Amino acid sequence: MAVLPAAAAAAYQSAAKMGSTAASAGMSSAAESGAGGFGQFLSDALKDSISTMQQGEKMASANIAGKADIVDVVNAVNQAEVTLDTVVAVRDKVVAAYQSIMNMPI
């Protein structure tokens, strides 16, 4: 049973590294100067998503250890599920937009 939380934590850390790598590699000079922009917005949204999912994992682990209220656990896991659904929906839209662009005649 201890393998699952460790594997989940490793997956979250890997996703966080991808987000920070993409943010540092793909940001324009305006975003680097602190002006923000769409890239910064996406980077922040990705970090928020990862943190929400990590909170759900922490609450589930705390419940297993008997240290958390079931209502708090259900709320945290529900928020993580909604966040994951949102991330998947955005990913699907991005893939559909990419495919649409690739199918355009030149």
Give the model confidence (pLDDT) of 31-59 as tens digits. Answer: 454 567 888 988 899 999 999 999 999 99
Domain segments of the chain as ranges: 3-102
Percent of the chain with pLDDT over 90: 53
- Amino acid code (one letter) for 85: D
Give me the mean pLDDT over the 85-92 stretch: 93
pTM of the predicted protein model: 0.58
The more confident residue out of 30 and 66 is 66
Q: Would you state the pLDDT for residue 42?
A: 85
Where does 1-106 have alpha helices with state H? 3-26, 29-32, 38-64, 70-102
Rounded to whole angstroms, how far apart are CA atoms 70 and 60? Answer: 9
Q: Would you state the pLDDT for residue 9?
A: 59
User: Shortest CA distance to 75 belongs to which of 88, 89, 58, 87?
Assistant: 58
Do 25 and 43 touch, CB atoms closer than 8 A?
Answer: no
